[in-house]
Amino acid sequence: MKKLLFLAFLALTMMSFSQVQYQKGYLIDTKGNKINCWIKNMDWRNSPEYIEYKLNQNSKPEKGTLQTIKEFGIGRNVKYLNRNVKVYKTDLRINFLDYQREPLFKDKNIFLKLLVSGKANLYRYSQNGSDYFYYQMGDEGTIKPLVYKKYLLKISNGEEVVKENKDYRKEIFKHLRCRHIDADVIQNLTYKMTPLVNYFVQYNKCENTPYTVYKNEDKSKIYLTAFVQYNLTSLDIWNSMSPQLNTKFGQINHFGLGAEFEYNLAFNHNKWSIISGLSYTTFKKQVTHPISSVSGGELTTNLTYRMFEMPLGVRYYMYLNKNSKFFLGTAYNIYFDQGSDLKFTRKDGSVYGPDLNLKSTWVFSIDAGYKFKNKYSINVKFYQTRSILYYTYWRSPLHNIAINLGYTFL
C-alpha cells in the first residue's frame, strides 16, 4: 500500500510539470487581422478544431476556433488554414468497408495543415487516424481532394474482394505532371504523406518555381545508455509440506549492470519512446536457523541468484526546459536464468532436502525518472511481485525496486 501511495504521489507530481509549452506564433482572425501570439503546440495527430493561445506569455489563455480564426502558424514549420472544402470519410478496416467506390462528399470548414507551398500546394486533413490529402494550384486556386478509398466488391461466386479507388493518381497525372517526371512515378505513388510531399517538391522543382516544405522538426532518434543498478529486494520462501525449510531472507540489497536501447519516436515532440535492453544481476545469500529435528541442530539455506533481464516497454517524457525532463514508463520484463539455485545444508555441510533451480518468466514494471541534457539519468523502477520457484508446495514471493544511474553514449 505504501508503494502504491508513493507511486500515485510521484505520478501526480510529475504530471504537474507535463504542460505543453506555448510557442511563438501568429494567427489571422476572420477580419484579416494578424496577431502575434503564443500558441499551445499540441503537435496535433488529428486536425484541430480549436487552439489555445496567449497574447503574451503572462496573459490568460484564449480559445480560437473555426468561427474566429482564418489561419494560424507556429514557428517556420507549422501552418494551418481554415478553408471550406469537400470532405469524406473512409475506413481502412475491412469490417467497416462499404460497397461504394466513390466517396460521399460534404462541404465543411476545417483546419488544413500546409505541407508544401509553391506553384502546387499540398495539404493534409487528419481525422480518426486517417489522413486525407488536398492540393491547390497557386494560392488562389480551388483546394481539391486527392481521393483514396478502399471498398468492397462482390464477385460472381458471391465472395467479396477489397478494391481500391486510387483517383488521386489520375488527378495528379492530369493536373500535376511535369514533362520531366516519368509517368511511372505517378503510377507507383502511394497515398502517404512522405511520398506525396516528395512528389510535390519534385513537381515544383520541375516547374522551376520556389517552394517551401512545412515539415515536423521532430525526428526519430536512437539512444544507448549504460547504467548501474541498485536493487532493493525482499524474498521469503515457504513450503507447505516441510515447514522446516521455510526461510525469511528479508531485505537483500545488491548491484547490477545493464544497457538500455531507446527508440525515440518522431511525433508529439519526441515524448514517446520504445525501450528495450539487457541487464545482469547476481548475488548470494545464506540464512542459518536452528532446527532440532536436523542433525547438528541447524539448517542453512543457500541462495545463488544469477539472472539476465530484458525489458520491452514504452516511455513518456515530460519536459521542464531544454535540458531537463521527467519520464514515466512501463515494461514487460523477461528473465533468463544463468544457473541460479537454492539448496539446504546441515551444520556439517551435508545436503538436506531438495536442490532447487530458480526460474523467473516475466513481470510488469512501472518506472519514473529524470534525465538531464539527454546524457545523465536516474530512475526508480517498481516491479510486480514474482515467484522464483515453480514447484509443488512451494511459494517464493520476490519483491524488487531498482534504482538506475545511467549515462547515454548515443
Give the residue from 74, 91, 108 where a domain finishes.
Answer: 74
* Domain-located, residue 320: yes
Give the residue from 178, 197, 217 where a domain finishes.
Answer: 217
Q: Does 232 lie in the same domain as 313?
A: yes
Q: Does 378 lie in the same domain as 233?
A: yes
Q: Does 301 lie in the same domain as 212?
A: no
Q: Does 253 lie in the same domain as 168?
A: no
Number of neighbouring beta carbons within 10 Å of residue 365: 19
Q: Does 198 lie in the same domain as 136?
A: yes
Q: Which residue from 229, 245, 254, 252 is spatially nearest to 291, judged by alpha carbons?
A: 245
Q: Which residue from 109, 69, 117, 102 is spatially nearest to 86, judged by alpha carbons?
A: 109
* Domain-located, residue 91: yes
Residues 6+ away with beta carbon under 8 Å from 389: 237, 342, 356, 358, 359, 395, 396
Residues 6+ away with beta carbon under 8 Å from 283: 252, 254, 305
To the question of pTM greater than 0.85 for the whole model, the response is no
Q: Which residue from 217, 215, 216, 213 is spatially nearest to 118, judged by alpha carbons?
A: 213
Q: Does 244 lie in the same domain as 160?
A: no
* Domain-located, residue 3: no
Q: Which CATH number belongs to the domain containing residue 382 in this structure?
A: 2.40.160
* Domain-located, residue 150: yes
Q: Does 266 lie in the same domain as 126?
A: no
Q: Does 334 lie in the same domain as 210?
A: no
Partners of residue 34 on adjacent β-strands = 28
The dihedral built from the CA positions of residue 8, 10, 13 and 14, taken in this order, carries a sign that is negative
* Domain-located, residue 289: yes
Q: Tabulate helix, strand, coil % of the chain (nearest 5).
A: 10, 55, 35
* Domain-located, residue 103: yes
Number of neighbouring beta carbons within 10 Å of residue 200: 24
Q: Does 91 lie in the same domain as 59?
A: no
Number of neighbouring beta carbons within 10 Å of residue 121: 23
Instruction: Give residue 31's domain range.
Output: 20-74
Q: Which residue from 96, 105, 107, 48 is spatially nearest to 74, judged by alpha carbons?
A: 48
Ranges assigned E (strand) in 75-220: 78-87, 106-117, 120-127, 130-137, 144-146, 149-154, 160-165, 212-213
Q: Does 393 lie in the same domain as 378?
A: yes
DSSP annotation string for 93-114: SGGG--S-SS---EEEEEEEEE
Q: Does 153 lie in the same domain as 115?
A: yes
The dihedral built from the CA positions of residue 131, 137, 143 and 149, taken in this order, carries a sign that is negative
Give the count of domains, the chain: 3
Q: Does 333 lie in the same domain as 374?
A: yes
pLDDT of residue 355: 83
Average pLDDT per run of 10 along the chain, which is 410 residues long?
47 48 91 94 88 92 95 92 93 78 94 96 92 92 95 85 94 92 94 95 95 82 95 94 91 96 84 94 93 87 94 92 91 94 91 86 93 95 93 93 94
Give the residue from 30, 59, 74 where a domain finishes.
Answer: 74
Residue 235 vs residues 102, 331, 342, 353, 386: alpha-carbon distances, Å = 65, 22, 12, 20, 10
Strand pairing class (34-40; 50-54): antiparallel
* Domain-located, residue 12: no
* Domain-located, residue 356: yes
pLDDT of residue 277: 96
